[in-house]
Amino acid sequence: MASSESNHPYHLVNPSKWPFVGSLAGFIMATGGIYYMHDGSIFAFLAGTALMLYVMYGWWSDVISEAEGGVDHTSVVKHGLRVGMVLFITSEVMFFFAFFWAFFDATVPLITRTAHEIWPPEGVVPFAAFGIPFLNTLILLTSGATVTVAHHKILHGDRAGCGRWLAYTVILGLIFTGLQAYEYIHATFGFTDGIYSSTFYLATGFHGFHVIVGTLFLLVCYFRTKKGHFTADTHIGFEAAAWYWHFVDVVWLFLFVCIYWWGGSGYVPPS
Amino acid sequence: MANTAEAHHDDHDHHMPGFFTRWFCSTNHKDIGTLYILVSFIAAIIGGAMSWYIRLELAEPGIQYIDDFQFYNVLVTAHGFLMVFFVVMPAMIGGFGNWFVPLMIGAPDMAFPRMNNISLWLLVAGFILLLLSAVIGDGPGTGWTVYPPLSNQEYQPGPSVDLGILSLHLAGASSILGAINFIVTIFNMRAPGMTIHRMPLFVWAILITAFLLLLALPVLAGALTMLLTDRNFGTAFFVSGQGGDPVLWQHLFWFFGHPEVYIIIIPAFGIVSQIVSTFSNKPVFGYLGMAYAMSAIGVVGFIVWAHHMFTIGFDVSTRAYFTAATMVIAVPTGVKIFSWLATMWGGSIKFEVPMLYALGFIFLFVVGGVTGITLANASADLVFHDTYFVVAHFHYVMAIAAILAMFAGYFYWIGKMSGRKYPRGLAKLQFWVFFIGVNVLFFPQHFSGFAGMPRRIPDYPAPYEGWNYVSSLGALITMIGTILFFIIVWRTFYGEEAEANEWGEGATTLEWAVASPAPWHTHEVLPDMTGKAPAE
Ligand code: HEM
Ligand SMILES: [Cu+2]
């Protein structure tokens, strides 16, 4: 409560139903997901997901109106929000760390001698790294640049310009996702074809999921610029989205270099 | 339901909201902390009951009660998970951390009060999933380490293991959000003048624990996801027949698992430091050394994980490395033990109940630390691995030492939390019953382990009978101690009123500067700590 009679710069939040309902949604998603995995219908899982999306919408709408209300988000609170976002991204990095570990466990004898001697394993025809994957690298790098331009626009108070460059970024994100989907459809190895497929699909799949989330995050920022949100010195939501996007970008660079390029370089086409 | 949707403008009420809003939609660190402690109590009763049932079976050789061995394994698994994720962590981090970090640093609440509440409720959701996993289907008979191939669909069909996996996913998400909340609170909301090097050691402990949670839990989440897709969607991460590697699971699990044991014990360090200083009426000896010893333990804790895997066939240099790295941890740990002793040295010690528990903690932790050094030797561990020696070791360090620290914290702070004093005589009795109980329970397991008795087994040859019987007697004494504890909890509601500072001049931290019970909102006027001594 950063109202006039407050003695401190912190934001004491009013009671909210969202956390409780959100956990309920998580619980329904979990049980529903298991029901589905064990040959039940997917309905409960989808219902849980829908509830979760509703909670996200409601909760973040509250956050946005608090931000736009102008009193709650003092500079101290904003600093806290930024640190929080950095920490969240750190935890995401560690999540990908696990999948890279799985990949290197299969390809390099690190401290256990269980790696494969030939990689990709026999019979797997990997993607040519310098085809679509490299194109995707260029697309993501470009999108990193466009989101930075958007940031400069808002820093100079040009909200419309910020929105425009956000739109370019979102479009690049969508093209990336489309190309990934195209690639998945045309892959010569299926999801269940052994360890190569496992590491490939889960690492790139989770990355793709993060790209979609990041795209939505940027899209929300785009609509917020249309509604007249964000000013030259207050645009935490935008900053968070941009950081998240850069994180997604960096993960891709690692995926590209390790899994596509280096991981495909051992491929010997049948003569 | 609450008027949250419309009430975006904060006219933050000072009157108490209604029951549902107060307890289910809370944004108050004290109420959320109380709920965490309640969750811990419930889980402790269930997890404790399981362990006593196991000890009942193990009291004599042969099969007495549990003739379904899968069920035995389920008991062991659920006991381990419950105790680690739903008893110790919620009480120390969610309970005491929530209650006392804001109070000690002079902040009016946590940085993200709503997120604080979803941490709590995700934990509850995970708790329910874990209980479901034990009762639906055959239950997860994998042990808390969930090693494949035992945890694969082939050997654990049905939904139980999947429920367990998702339970940990939710509990993990809860902890990651909680960790972010604590770190931001501690970095961003300290009272004016309270520099990092003036924070109470309990706050240091929670800060370091939060970093461990933030970095370790996502790795577990990744591993659990792989296991889930292996089980249900045909991936091959841990399936050796398809090019996968079961040992990969062990690496990922223990890369999380070793930091996890510090997640459990570092908050205990923090509680014990506060208490030893209070009841010795002296500042902690070597405050900075204590803080950085905890930090060092946290950092080194990330590079010792494979000491849990010495039997998988590492080469000699890998074993040598992990042995050496593990032993290095004894140095900062020694710094802590000796600093506690030096704090007491020359102090005017009051043997109040929290102090008894803190001393009990130090004793148990030293015993467990010594057996830890033994097990750190790869060549010795080849023999001890999977025996009761290991069970004794880890119960000393992370189970009963942590539980003693929780009791210490409970008796130290219950006056502040409830405004009532616990019955002192009964509590002293309870300490002795519990302390003797746990030692009789776990000390003999060293001997059984030395003699080669394997862990996770419902039956054993007759020569192991003697010490197992003693151990089960110890479990009985421990059970009496636990029941006494709950009687004390109940009696406390009718106890005398506690003063703002029950413990006198030794208690210097900020929570003692507010009334007892701590009002619903505290530190709305930020205390000025400029120039004050380090608040340890
Ligand atoms: C109330 C006192 C306790 C008793 C009587 C007790 C007893 C036991 C027993 C009998 C086992 C099974 C050993 C085996 O068959 O291999 C076990 C395992 C275990 N306990 Fe406890 N325990 C107690 C408290 C705790 C606490 C407080 C914690 C945690 C912080 C804990 C953590 C574990 C873990 C992680 C395992 C290993 C489970 C596994 O093998 O997967 N225990 N305990
Ligand atoms: Cu360890």
User: Which among B118, B218, B231 is the nearest to A22, CB-wise?
Assistant: B118
Positive/negative CA dihedral, A27, A30, A34, A35: positive
Q: Which one of A72, A100, A121 terminates a domain?
A: A72
Distance, CA of A116 to CA of A184 (rounded, Å): 24
**DSSP secondary-structure letter at B344?**
H
CATH number of the CATH domain containing A156? 1.20.120.80
In a domain, A6, yes or no: no
Structure confidence at residue A2 as a pLDDT band (50, 70, 90): very low
Ligand of minimum distance to the alpha carbon of B456:
1
The CB-based long-range contact list for B16-25 (8 Å cut-off, 24+ gap) reads: B16/B520, B17/A15, B21/A15, B22/A15, B24/A17, B24/A20, B25/A15, B25/A16, B25/A17, B25/A19, B25/A20, B25/B1, B25/B117
Distance, CA of A193 to CA of B285 (rounded, Å): 60
Ligand of minimum distance to the alpha carbon of B449:
1
Q: Which two tokens stand for residue A112?
A: 């256990």
Does residue A117 share a domain with residue A49? no
In a 10 Å sphere around its CB, with 0-12 CB exposed, 13-18 middle and 19+ buried, how is residue A70 labelled? exposed
Does residue A127 share a domain with residue A45? no
In a domain, A5, yes or no: no
Distant-in-sequence, close-in-space partners of A269: CB < 8 Å, separation ≥ 6:
none
Q: Whose CA is nearest to atom 14 of ligand 1?
A: B456
Model pTM score: 0.95
Does residue A119 share a domain with residue A40? no
pLDDT of B422-461, one tens digit each? 999 999 999 999 999 999 999 999 999 999 999 999 999 9
Distance, CA of B202 to CA of B275 (rounded, Å): 10
Region at B281 (left for phi over 0; alpha for psi -120 to 50; beta for the rest):
left
Cα of B454 from ligand 1 centre, angstroms: 14
pLDDT of B228-257, one tens digit each? 999 999 999 999 999 999 999 999 999 999
Q: Do A192 and B24 touch (CB under 8 A)?
A: no
Please state the rounded mean pLDDT for residues A192-204.
Answer: 96
In a domain, A3, yes or no: no
User: B339: distance to nearest CA of chain A, Å?
Assistant: 32
Nearest residue of chain B to residue A200 (CA atoms): B235
Does residue A254 share a domain with residue A165? yes
The amino acid that residue A179 corresponds to is L
Please state the rounded mean pLDDT for residues B195-210.
Answer: 96
Distance, CA of B13 to CA of A1 (rounded, Å): 10
Structure confidence at residue A202 as a pLDDT band (50, 70, 90): very high
Q: How many domains does chain A have?
A: 2
Find where tokens 């790294």 sit.
Answer: A129
Distance, CA of B291 to CA of B536 (rounded, Å): 10
Does residue A118 share a domain with residue A53? no
Strand partners, B387: B454
In a domain, A4, yes or no: no
Structure confidence at residue B536 as a pLDDT band (50, 70, 90): very low
Angle (CA) B446-B447-B449 rounded to 5° is 65
Coil/strand/helix, residue B40 = helix
Positive/negative CA dihedral, B213, B219, B221, B224: negative
In a domain, A127, yes or no: yes
Distant-in-sequence, close-in-space partners of B405: CB < 8 Å, separation ≥ 6:
B92, B267, B268, B269, B271, B272, B357, B358, B361
Does residue A88 share a domain with residue A42? no
The pLDDT mean for chain A works out to 94
Coil/strand/helix, residue B497 = strand
Q: What is the pLDDT of residue B2?
A: 38
pLDDT of B374-428, one tens digit each? 999 999 999 999 999 999 999 999 999 999 999 999 999 999 999 999 999 999 9
Residue A61: domain span: 14-72
User: Which among A24, A59, A95 is the nearest to B221, CB-wise?
Assistant: A95
Does residue A91 share a domain with residue A59? no
Does residue A241 share a domain with residue A180? yes
pLDDT of B156-181, one tens digit each? 999 999 999 999 999 999 999 999 99
Does residue A168 share a domain with residue A61? no
The amino acid that residue A7 corresponds to is N
Q: Do A17 and B113 touch (CB under 8 A)?
A: no
Coil/strand/helix, residue A169 = helix
In a domain, A8, yes or no: no
Task: Kindly report the length of chain B.
Answer: 536
Q: Which one of A72, A94, A116 terminates a domain?
A: A72
Locate all alpha helices (DSSP H) within B419-516, ordered by sequence: 424-450, 465-492
Distance, CA of B34 to CA of B107 (rounded, Å): 18
Q: Whose CA is nearest to atom 4 of ligand 1?
A: B51
User: B175: distance to nearest CA of chain A, Å?
Assistant: 11
Distant-in-sequence, close-in-space partners of A61: CB < 8 Å, separation ≥ 6:
none
Nearest residue of chain A to residue B137 (CA atoms): A38
Q: Which one of A43, A72, A101 terminates a domain?
A: A72
Distant-in-sequence, close-in-space partners of B221: CB < 8 Å, separation ≥ 6:
A95, A98, B169, B172, B173
Please state the rounded mean pLDDT for residues B127-149.
Answer: 96
Does residue A238 share a domain with residue A115? yes
In a domain, A2, yes or no: no
In a domain, A271, yes or no: no
Find where tokens 């509830």 sit.
Answer: A51
Locate all alpha helices (DSSP H) within chain A, ordered by sequence: 18-37, 43-69, 75-107, 132-155, 159-185, 195-226, 236-254, 263-264
- Per-residue pLDDT for A67 more than 60? yes
- Kindly list the residues from chain A whose CB atom is less than 8 angstroms away from the CB atom of residue B237: 102, 195, 198-199, 202
Does residue A55 share a domain with residue A107? no
Q: What is the pLDDT of residue B417?
A: 97
Please state the rounded mean pLDDT for residues B513-520.
Answer: 94
Residue among B34, B160, B175, B371 flagged as catalytic: B175
Closest CA to B123 of B191, B172, B76: B172
Distance, CA of B246 to CA of B51 (rounded, Å): 29
Residue among B29, B169, B308, B523 flagged as catalytic: B308
Closest CA to A40 of B224, B158, B170: B158
Coil/strand/helix, residue B81 = helix
pLDDT of A68-108, one tens digit each? 988 899 999 999 999 999 999 999 999 999 999 999 999 98
Closest CA to B120 of A26, A110, A195: A26
Does residue A115 share a domain with residue A98? yes
- Per-residue pLDDT for A35 more than 80? yes
